[in-house]
Structure formats: C-alpha cells, structure tokens
A and B are shown apart, each in its own frame.
Chain A
Amino acid sequence: QKEVEQNSGPLSVPEGAIASLNCTYSDRVSQSFFWYRQYSGKSPELIMSIYSNGDKEDGRFTAQLNKASQYVSLLIRDSQPSDSATYLCAVNWGSGAGSYQLTFGKGTKLSVIP
C-alpha cells in the first residue's frame, strides 16, 4: 500500500513568516514529487515539482527532497494571506505496464494571519 502522510494542521503562521510543510512517503522507488495548492472549493493547482535530492527554488517557494529519509517538504518564505490554502503533497510511482500513479496526502491546511 503506497502511502503519503502529511500533518493535517491547521498550520498558522503570521504574515511575513516562513511556513514549513512536511510530507513523508512509504515507497523508496518513487521518482517524482509534487506540491499542489488547493483553495477552498477549488481544484488543485501545481506549485512545485521535484525529482532529485536537494532543494529547488521558485520565487518564494522552496521544495526539499531527501529520498533516503523518504521526506519531502515545502517552504514558503514571506508568507502572505493569499497563501492560505490546503497544500497537497503528491508522489508519483510506477504502477506497472509503464504507467504511473499519483498518490496524494490528505493535505495540510495553512492559515497566514495578517
């Protein structure tokens, strides 16, 4: 059973602070990792993808991957109230016959307090 675990939160941070979101996964052969943001009542939208160990930065967002520890995180610098949403961690692994299945965690709800 492939599992993706996230702390459901809510995680509250003051405006301007760094928000740190964490995710662990159960399968060592996973190759690609994604962070999606989902506003209430909306569909998920991709904000970051990461495929190799280390850090990947995109604007205020940094994704960190440690395959040995089966851990992926998302840092949001200078958090804004508009960042308040649920953040979904997703892991892609092979499900056989050349296909890949994206498995999502339950999401962490982030609230940025003005």
Chain B
Amino acid sequence: EAGVAQSPRYKIIEKRQSVAFWCNPISGHATLYWYQQILGQGPKLLIQFQNNGVVDDSQLPKDRFSAERLKGVDSTLKIQPAKLEDSAVYLCASSLNRGGGETQYFGPGTRLLVL
C-alpha cells in the first residue's frame, strides 16, 4: 500500500513570495490533515479535511495560508505572502476516518526555508 505522498520535498523562497505544497493521501482515506512543524517543536495542526470539506481550520493563519481538497483526494496548501517565521516542515497526514482513535499516517514532509 502506497503511503502519503508530498511534493516538493524542499523549497527555498524569499519573504513575501508565494509557495504551494501538494499532498496525495493513502488511497481510501477520507480525512486529511496539514501540520506545521517548526524545528524543535511537535507538529501543529493547521487544517483538517473530511472528504472535501473543512472540519477544523481554527489554527490556520487565514490571512496568508489557504488550503483546498477539491475532489476529496489530493490537497494543496498555499502560503501567500510568506514570512520568515513560516520556515518549517509542512507535514501532510491522512486517516481512514476522523474518529478519536484513528491512526494518522504522515507523509515525508516539505521543508520550507524563507529567506
């Protein structure tokens, strides 16, 4: 079974530029998550999708971050404009459903450096 796929793996941009990340979850997984992991910290949930609907985006900085999952499969996360403090690893995860006991499986992440 293929795991969660993400691209690109690395990205370097200058502040105020825009950037987009792509995620393809495990086949059949209805729930998709985007996390931000700053160096030395645990992952922080940015947004959670159930199929193509947003379940929780309470920690997404909506003035600069946006995300979509149009057909309930792939998802993109965009930052526009980027700030220095956005330098982090962006992790995508998926789970079969959104229940409290569901295991989340993580992709390899995208490392973003904002200069």
The reply to whether chain A is a binding partner of chain B is yes
In the complex, A34→B43 CA distance in Å?
13
- Interface residues of A, CB < 8 Å — how many? 29
What chain B residues lie within 8 Å of A99 (beta carbons)?
48, 50, 55-56, 98
* Contact residue among A45, A88, A94 (Cβ-Cβ distance under 8 Å from B42): A88
Is A92 interfacial (CB-CB < 8 Å)? yes
A102 and B45 in contact (CB under 8 A), knowing A31-B101, A32-B101, A92-B101?
A: yes
What chain A residues lie within 8 Å of B101 (beta carbons)?
31-32, 49, 51, 92
Is A28 interfacial (CB-CB < 8 Å)? no
What chain B residues lie within 8 Å of A31 (beta carbons)?
100-101
A-side residues, CB < 8 A to B, are: 4, 8, 31-32, 34, 42-46, 49, 51, 88, 90, 92-95, 97-107
